[in-house]
């Protein structure tokens, strides 16, 4: 029997310390998004990640025998007795009725994502922010309080700082690596802890098992953004998270050609999030679902290349006389290296490093020939940006310093190119300064 979690229906019942509902539904679900579509289904528990990425969720089309999942480019579906009964009896999510409710293209990529994450169920969205906003709002009662990292992705911070207060919620921001500060920020009306597995841009590794234990001890929901680490690096659900969100725009798709998001976890949590998807309208287009499922098939290969390339580039940068500091969790010099080795199966492709000043950093970017100046991350091509004029442009220099972001900081998303070509590009650009 599990401990009662704030926000569960029985939370208001006097004298109830444990409830069966926490882990179990009162009735069985109909076959649907967390069930097999056809031959491949959600995957075998014995499959390794590379096999799961290729085969899980793939829909074998019974009409044509197509090996790849077809694109079901339709807005609506023919209704019959089964669909009407699904609406009447409350399992409309488990039937094809209207693409905002669900679509075979969505179901296929959801199956693959859930299998990779080790989740029971998943919902894809039209962006990472759509996934984050729907997830968080599904877990908050009127007047609730949230404890969140003070090093959030900019879009998430704007949502927490501007939108949640306008809806009557409050948020406290804390150092994600200070467990005592996180615990001290918890209030009687706190309902959700919200953290990221790795911070932006300094790639600090967050101790997810410790935060998961805090959530369990205080009966709080834990939502984790695992975009930087991907399911190939860490499974936050194994460390106490209730819902994991990703911006699929980044590593999961990996080709810089679509915008998408996903929320994953227990089926009962997804069933609570799904009505927000319907209300806010952030469903993912079938063609984007096709592109995302296609890309996920090469995720293990790409993540291996990202990590190997990033390690080589970070090692080069650490030895260069014009580089003041390098942040990459795969380097022994990183303050979280020991924790990273313990928690991460893949160190990822994100590096932060610093030259003498912001002005010099801007000159460095202008001299790069192979790498591309652009926002976002996780693509097959290497992208480079400066926090001071992109992700942290709204902060003063003093605020950035307090967060540990030095002047001249450069964020590098290492792609899958040959690392020696990337090093050569950096070498010539640094020599030209």
Catalytic-labelled residue, pool 94, 225, 285, 425:
225
Count CB neighbours of 311 within 10 A. Answer: 19
Catalytic-role residue among 153, 173, 251, 388: 153
Q: Are 153 and 392 in contact (CB under 8 A)?
A: no
User: Is 250 designated active site?
Assistant: yes
The CA dihedral of 229, 234, 240, 245, to the nearest 10 degrees, is 40
Tell me whether residue 142 is one of the annotated catalytic residues: no
List the 372-373 sheet strands across, edge first. 325-327, 350-354, 409-413, 383-385, 372-373
Query: Which tokens belong to 256?
Result: 């810089």
In degrees rounded to 5, what are phi and psi of residue 406?
-80, 160
Strand ranges across the sheet with 243-247? 121-125, 261-265, 243-247, 221-225, 190-196, 145-149, 170-174
Note whether 253 and 113 are within 8 A (CB).
no
Please, what is the angle between helix 299-318 and helix 419-431, to 10°? Answer: 30
Extended beta strands in 71-144, E state: 121-125
Active-site entry in 8, 91, 100, 294:
100
Residues with Cβ within 8 Å of 111's Cβ and at least 6 positions away in sequence, in order, are 33, 34, 36, 37, 41, 42, 43, 56, 57, 122
Residues forming the active site: 100, 153, 225, 250
């Amino acid at each position: 029997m599990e401990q009662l979690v704030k926000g569960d229906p029985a939370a208001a019942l006097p004298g109830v310390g444990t409830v069966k509902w926490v882990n179990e539904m009162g009735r069985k679900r109909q076959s649907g998004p967390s069930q097999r579509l056809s031959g491949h289904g959600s995957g075998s528990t014995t499959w390794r990640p590379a096999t799961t990425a290729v085969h899980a969720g793939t829909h074998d089309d019974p009409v044509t025998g197509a090996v790849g999942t077809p694109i079901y480019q339709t807005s609506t579906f023919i209704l019959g007795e089964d669909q009407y009964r699904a609406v009447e009896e409350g399992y409309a999510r488990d039937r094809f009725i209207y693409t905002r409710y669900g679509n075979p293209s969505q179901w296929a990529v959801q199956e693959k994502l859930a299998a990779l994450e080790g989740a029971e169920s998943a919902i894809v969205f039209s962006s990472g922010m759509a996934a984050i906003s729907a997830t968080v709002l599904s877990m908050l009662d009127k007047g609730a309080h949230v404890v969140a990292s003070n090093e959030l992705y900019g879009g998430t911070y704007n949502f927490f700082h501007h939108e949640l207060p306008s809806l009557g919620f409050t948020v406290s921001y804390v150092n994600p690596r200070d467990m005592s500060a996180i615990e001290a920020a918890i209030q009687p009306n706190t309902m959700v802890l919200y953290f990221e597995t790795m911070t932006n841009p300094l790639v600090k590794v967050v101790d997810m098992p410790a935060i998961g234990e805090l959530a369990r001890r205080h009966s709080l929901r834990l939502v984790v953004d695992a975009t930087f680490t991907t399911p190939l690096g860490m499974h936050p659900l194994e460390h106490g998270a209730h819902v994991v969100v990703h911006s699929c725009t980044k590593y999961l798709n990996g080709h810089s050609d679509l915008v998408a998001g996903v929320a994953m976890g227990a089926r009962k949590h997804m069933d609570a999030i799904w009505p927000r998807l319907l209300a806010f309208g952030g469903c993912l287009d079938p063609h984007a679902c096709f592109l995302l499922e296609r890309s996920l098939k090469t995720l293990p290969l790409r993540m291996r290349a990202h990590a190997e390339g990033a390690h080589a580039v970070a090692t080069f940068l650490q030895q260069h006389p014009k580089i003041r500091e390098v942040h990459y969790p795969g380097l022994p010099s990183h303050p979280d290296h020991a924790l990273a080795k313990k928690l991460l199966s893949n160190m990822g492709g994100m590096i932060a490093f610093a030259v003498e000043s912001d002005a010099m950093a801007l000159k460095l970017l202008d001299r790069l020939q192979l790498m591309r100046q652009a926002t976002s991350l996780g693509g097959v091509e290497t992208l480079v940006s400066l926090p001071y004029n992109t992700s942290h442009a709204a902060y003063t220099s003093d605020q950035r310093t307090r967060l540990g972001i030095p002047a001249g900081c450069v964020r590098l998303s290492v792609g899958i190119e040959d690392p020696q070509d990337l090093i050569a590009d950096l070498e010539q650009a640094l020599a030209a300064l």
